[in-house]
């Protein structure tokens, strides 16, 4: 009887440790997520608070990028909390959430691509910038981005229909909801790999082309050196953002590989750290970069972040 009571005590202690780990992980990740969401939402509100933000193409593109990142952050944390609370969703609900996350993940690199080309035109063709980069053309580019991303989601849905769901005992999932468990079948996995490669290689080539184009243009005597330097730094930041977004797409496969090597406690702790650094932080980087660097956004953003206690300074820079 003493052996039985001792084993029960060990089981209870183990359950308490697991519960403590889950609660700690949820708190540690939810606090920065709430802060990042607050900053992003404030930035979105800021980009709609002044006419200059609504009438300038790069700010309209920034709003589109920031909106996609904010939705992606909220969805990823929702799925994370489901996993921490051990809530197993049904396949349709999980499929809807992961497809919506896939939509926003596709929008971010495509928007970075268009933003990089806009900076390239601004530096290399300054006289034609106002005729090429108009609000109307920017709106068309955003519609194309959303249409292409929606087409990717539709393709994924069609691939999901090939799976024999009728052979399943239940639509209830037996594991946590991630994109890996929704890639049902080899064709779906192959398409996913091919699409990610084409998407990020294309965005990387476009940003690199814009970067080197700006460097070459900066050597010209007719080019504004200060403007070229700012555009070059912006394009470098776009490239860093693209790499971070790409790393977030590798988050789930990396965890699957580590799950069979590490102990459960170490895996949970590593999962929490990687989730904050790889999945959450890159989605807030856009607000931090533009909110600090841009002289037009910064005073208005600080005004709203401080709950309007600070009066925004007047700035004429664009």
Please give the chain's pLDDT, 318 residues, in tens.
444 444 444 446 556 666 776 777 777 778 888 888 888 898 898 888 888 888 888 899 999 999 998 998 888 888 888 877 777 777 778 878 888 888 888 898 899 899 888 888 888 888 888 888 899 999 999 999 999 999 988 888 887 776 666 666 667 777 677 665 555 566 777 888 888 888 888 888 888 888 888 888 777 756 667 777 777 788 888 888 888 777 777 766 676 666 667 676 777 777 777 777 777 777 777 777 777 777 888 888 787 777 655 555 544 444
* Triad 181, 248, 279: Cα angle to 5°: 100
Cα gap 313→109, rounded to integer Å: 32
Position 8 scores a pLDDT of 47
Residue owning tokens 């068309």: 140
- Full DSSP string of 44-110: HHHTTTSHHHHS-HHHHHHHHHHHHHHHHHHHHHHHHHHHHTTPPPBHHHHHHHHHHHHHHHHHHHH
Angle at 38 between CA 148 and CA 255, to 5 degrees: 60
Cα(241)–Cα(62) distance, integer angstroms: 13
Length, in residues, of the chain: 318
Domain definitions of the chain by residue range: 13-161+172-305
Dist CA 218 CA 220 (whole Å) = 5
C-beta atoms surrounding 211 within 10 Å: 21
CATH class of 13-161+172-305: mainly alpha
């Amino acid at each position: 009887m003493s052996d039985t009571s001792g084993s029960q005590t060990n089981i209870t202690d183990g359950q308490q440790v697991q519960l403590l780990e889950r609660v700690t992980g949820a708190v540690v990740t939810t606090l920065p997520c709430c802060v990042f969401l607050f900053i992003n939402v404030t930035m979105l509100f800021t980009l709609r608070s002044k006419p200059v933000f609504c009438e300038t193409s790069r700010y309209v593109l920034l709003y589109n990028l920031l909106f996609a990142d904010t939705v992606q952050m909220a969805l990823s944390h929702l799925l994370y909390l489901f996993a921490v609370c051990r809530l197993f969703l049904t396949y349709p609900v999980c499929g809807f959430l992961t497809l919506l996350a896939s939509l926003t993940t596709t929008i971010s690199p495509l928007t970075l691509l268009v933003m990089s080309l806009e900076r390239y035109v601004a530096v290399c063709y300054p006289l034609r910038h106002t005729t090429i980069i108009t609000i109307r053309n920017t709106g068309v580019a955003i519609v194309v981005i959303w249409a292409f991303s929606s087409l990717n989601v539709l393709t994924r849905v069609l691939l999901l229909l090939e799976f024999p769901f009728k052979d399943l005992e239940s639509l209830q999932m037996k594991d946590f909801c991630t994109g890996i468990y929704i890639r049902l079948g080899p064709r779906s996995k192959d398409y996913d790999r091919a699409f990610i490669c084409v998407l990020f290689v294309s965005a990387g080539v476009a940003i690199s082309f814009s970067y080197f184009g700006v460097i070459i243009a900066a050597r010209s005597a007719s080019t504004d050196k200060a403007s070229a330097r700012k555009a070059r730094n912006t394009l470098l930041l776009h490239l860093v953002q693209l790499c971070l977004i790409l790393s977030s797409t590798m988050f789930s496969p990396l965890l699957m590989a580590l799950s069979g090597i590490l102990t459960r406690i170490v895996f949970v702790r590593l999962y929490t750290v990687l989730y904050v650094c790889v999945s959450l932080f890159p989605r807030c980087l856009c607000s931090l970069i533009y909110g600090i660097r841009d002289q037009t956004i910064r005073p208005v953003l600080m005004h709203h972040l401080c709950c309007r206690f600070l009066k925004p300074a007047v700035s004429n820079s664009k």
